[in-house]
Amino acid sequence: MGASLYEFDAHDQADLLRRGEVTATDLAQAHLDRIERWDADLRSFVTLTPEAALDAARAIDRAGRAGEGFAGVPTAVKDLTATAGVRTTMGSRLLADQVPEVDAHVVRLVRDAALVSLGKTNTPEFGLSSYTDNDLVGPTSTPWRVGLNAGGSSGGAAAAVAAGLVPWALGSDGGGSIRIPSSCCGVVGLKPTRGRVSPGPLGSDWSGLASDGPIARTVRDVAALLDLIAVPQPGDARFVGRPAEPFAAVVDREPGRLRVAAWGDPYLPDVATDPRVKAVWEDGCRALAALGHDVEVIDNPFPPELEPQFNVVWSSGMAAAPIPPEAEPLLRPNTRYWRRRGATHSAAELAGAMQFLETTTRSAMSSLADYDVFCTPTLAMLPQPHAWFTATDDPAEAHRRELLFTPFTAVDNMAGIPAASVPFGRADGLPVGLMLAAHAGHETTLLSLMGQLEASVAWPTAPVDPVEDIRSKTHDDGLRHLSQPKSIILRHPGDRE
List, by residue number, the catalytic residues: 78, 153, 177
How far apart, in whole angstroms, are the C-alpha atoms of residue 189 and residue 177?
9
44 upstream amide cis, omega within 30 of 0: no
How far apart, in whole angstroms, are the C-alpha atoms of residue 61 and residue 25?
7
Cβ partners under 8 Å of residue 289, min gap 6? 295, 485, 488, 489
Cβ partners under 8 Å of residue 290, min gap 6? 479, 482, 483, 484, 485
Residue (of 263, 151, 237) closest to 491 by Cα position: 263
How far apart, in whole angstroms, are the C-alpha atoms of residue 454 and residue 218?
8
How far apart, in whole angstroms, are the C-alpha atoms of residue 479 and residue 284?
9
Q: What is the DSSP string of 200-262?
A: TTT---TTS--EEEEEESSHHHHHHHHHHH----TT-SS-----SS-GGGGTTS---S-EEEE
How far apart, in whole angstroms, are the C-alpha atoms of residue 322 and residue 15?
46
Three-state SS for 55? helix
How far apart, in whole angstroms, are the C-alpha atoms of residue 205 and residue 354?
13
Beta bridge partners of 78: 121
